[in-house]
Amino acid sequence: MNLLDKRYEFVVLFDVENGNPNGDPDAGNMPRIDYETGHGIVTDVCIKRKVRNYIEIKKNDSVGYRIYIKEGVVLNNINKEAYEYLNETPRDKKQKPNEKATQFMCKNFYDVRAFGAVMSTDVNCGQVRGPVQLNFARSIDPIFQQEISITRMAVTNEKDIEKERTIGRKYIVPYGLYKLEGYVSAYFAEKTYFTKEDLELLWEALVNMFEHDHSAARGKMTVRKLIIFEHQSKLGNAPAHILFDLIKIKRKNPDTPPRFYCDYEVVIDKDSLPEGVSIIEKV
């Protein structure tokens, strides 16, 4: 098994044009926002969903690459598969899980060994902390939440037939460039059997995570750049925040609202890169 022997940090720059990158159900599905600063937010859970969806399309539930958290599944039934494989009676959450059941889940489900999972439900397969961790993505500049009125020629009920059409609303961000920061721990990778091949698949998924997720609601969403910091050791050669600070992003014209990626300048201060760390750029 080709396990990781290096630590990684990474940054993903992605943008949205006339879409809602991550609606907030507690705010009428308006784009998520930091109300103190006006900067847009996309949650880690949202990004993980895109990665999971891409892996599922790419691998089509092949051995070792199934997805644990997905729509329409009963997690307890999936957990039972581990005990059926071990030919053992399932243990509940009051009992200590069988470590071999946890190993089964890691080896068979990509998202478990990548992101971790809480599997200590009524069928207890334990808990796993994944080697891949994500921060919330945050827009470089404050975003503008725009409300758009839309009309529909059809009606839902016969009693509304005289109305001829119905009116609704949708929320969009005219444009926003977002920065996502993430981490990959070689130590936790050992515990979940996350391999170098899994890592390459993660990079591929991050680059392509919006390519099969286009919709009227999300508009034009594009990954613009993936910047990877590769350490020369498991422990790492520099603190993550120092590496993240090497990436400088600024508007070319501060007086004009940004509407395209080319309105920004992205510079990586490679001259200040700490010893023992290298940079890999994708896209």
Domain map (residue ranges) of the chain:
1-43+136-146+172-283, 62-129
Determine the Cα–Cα distance for residues 183 and 215; give it in Å rounded to an integer: 29
Phi, psi (rounded to 5 degrees) for 198: -65, -40
Tokens 């993240």, residue located: 244
The pLDDT of residue 223 = 98
Q: What is the dihedral of CA 204, 205, 211, 212, to 10 degrees?
A: 130
Q: Per residue of the chain (283 residues), what is the pLDDT tens digit?
A: 788 999 999 999 999 999 999 999 998 899 999 999 999 999 999 999 999 999 999 999 999 999 999 998 999 999 999 999 999 999 999 999 999 999 999 999 999 999 999 999 999 999 999 999 999 999 999 999 998 888 877 777 777 777 767 777 889 999 999 999 999 999 999 999 999 999 999 999 999 999 999 988 887 999 999 999 999 999 999 999 999 999 999 999 999 999 999 999 999 999 999 999 999 999 8
The pLDDT of residue 164 = 67
Determine the Cα–Cα distance for residues 269 and 243; give it in Å rounded to an integer: 9
